[in-house]
Amino acid sequence: MAEIQITDADWLDFHPNPSVPRFVLPAGAVDAHCHVFGPRDAFPFAPERKYTPCDAGKDKLFELRDHLGFSRNVIVQATCHGKDNAAMVDACRAGGELARGVASVRHDISRDALAEMDAAGVRGVRFNFVRRLVDATPREHFVEVAERIQAFGWSIVVYFEAQDLADLAPFLASLPGTIVVDHMGRPDIAKGVDHPDFQRFVELMAEHENIWSKVTCPERLSVQGPPDYDDVVPFARRIVELFPDRVLWGTDWPHPNMKSHMPDDGKLVDFIPKIAPTAELQRKLLVDNPMRLYWAH
Ligand code: 0GY
């Protein structure tokens, strides 16, 4: 009998009516970090998941894209779907040229399976090191995946927490192709932007021109909280100003595992000009960089 999948009791649903942002996005802007969850009737969650979210399907995602003024989405496989990429791939197919995907795959995935995902719009894989989200993956499995995707010109997204950077840095530096770090490596905002931990992340990017960062998730990182998330601004702004050609931005809709509050996605868009204050920085962050990385073919 099919498992009945019940949303976690403490789950926070995405904002029901986000505001219209005051910041007008540049033409062709890309939401380069978002997810789809199910809907579970069509795309059940994975047995090995660590959380059971609300349904948040592609129709809602595309509605939000249009409401906020984005043109395109990069849909990142969420851990609640494990390595079953069906919901993400279905959303990519439905989005056509307006959507790209980042998958989570087994180390022994076949070339045909990669080719099928490539045809649907997938352009990368995600390596997740966050222990509350996934069981540990042997590093040699990640290396094997990294080698298999080279034929397709895909990039790698990595998700880890700040305390793991020192241990992970040599491994990340050894990976081929473009490596995109989720949410600036999740710095501890309370420590301040000049703390050695964040400096280590800045140095990693300075030393390795293939390492990019998503300057995302002020709502997750902020100690101060909504609606302005001003304490995260110095961190994101430093990365944008130092590495303007290697940064991406995304909503992180539907905001998995937010426990303190659910952000208003319109207010998140209003965060962008604080971290990318000029039209040129905004264009690179929102259009040029994601287009170069995810729409090259
Ligand atoms: C994010 C952050 C989280 C979750 C996931 O795939 C996921 O489950 O990425 C998190 O819980 O911090 O980027 O969506």
Question: How high does pLDDT run on average in the chain?
Answer: 97
* Catalytic site residue from 90, 182, 252, 265: 252
What's the CA-to-centroid distance between 245 and ligand 1, angstroms? 24
pLDDT digits (tens, 9 = 90+) for 189-229: 999 999 999 999 999 999 999 999 999 999 999 999 999 99
Residue 210 lies in a domain: yes
Domain of residue 216, CATH code: 3.20.20.140
Burial 202-234 (b: 16+ CB within 10 A, else e): bebbeeeebbbbbbbbbbbbbeeeeeebebbbb
- Can 252 be counted among the known catalytic residues? yes
Which pLDDT does position 297 carry in this prediction? 87
CB 240 within 8 A of CB 215: yes
Cα distances from 243 to residues 107, 174, 215, 272, in angstroms, run: 31, 20, 11, 16
Cα distances from 104 to residues 63, 136, 209, 272, in angstroms, run: 25, 14, 24, 28
Model confidence band, residue 1 (pLDDT cutoffs 50, 70, 90):
low
Residue 5 lies in a domain: no
What's the CA-to-centroid distance between 183 and ligand 1, angstroms? 10
Provide the 8-state DSSP code for 184: G
Residue 203 lies in a domain: yes
Tell me the average pLDDT across 171-188: 97
* Ligand 1 lined by 290 (C-beta under 6 Å): no
* Ligand 1 lined by 233 (C-beta under 6 Å): no
* Ligand 1 lined by 79 (C-beta under 6 Å): yes
Closest CA to 19 of 67, 73, 72: 67
* Ligand 1 lined by 52 (C-beta under 6 Å): no
Give the residue whose CA is nearest to atom 9 of ligand 1. Answer: 78
| Residue tagged 């949410």 (tokens) | 183
Residue 11 lies in a domain: no
**pLDDT above 70: percentage of residues in the chain:** 100
As given in the structure block, the two tokens for residue 255 are 């905001």
Residue 24 lies in a domain: no
pLDDT digits (tens, 9 = 90+) for 58-75: 999 999 999 999 999 999
Tell me the average pLDDT across 102-114: 98
Residue 85 lies in a domain: yes
Tell me the average pLDDT across 155-176: 96
pLDDT digits (tens, 9 = 90+) for 262-282: 999 999 999 999 999 999 999
CB 28 within 8 A of CB 77: no
Which pLDDT does position 250 carry in this prediction? 98
Residue 290 lies in a domain: yes
| Residue tagged 């998995």 (tokens) | 256
User: Ligand 1: which atom is nearest the Cα of residue 255?
Assistant: 14
The pTM assigned to this predicted structure is 0.97
Expressed as residue numbers, the domain containing 109 is 30-294
Model confidence band, residue 166 (pLDDT cutoffs 50, 70, 90):
very high
Quick check: 176 pLDDT over 90?
yes
Which pLDDT does position 84 carry in this prediction? 98
Residue 1 lies in a domain: no
Quick check: 3 pLDDT over 90?
no
Quick check: 105 pLDDT over 90?
yes
Q: How many domains does the chain contain in total?
A: 1
Tell me the average pLDDT across 27-47: 98
Tell me the average pLDDT across 145-159: 98
Quick check: 2 pLDDT over 80?
no
Closest CA to 255 of 266, 265, 246: 265
Model confidence band, residue 287 (pLDDT cutoffs 50, 70, 90):
very high
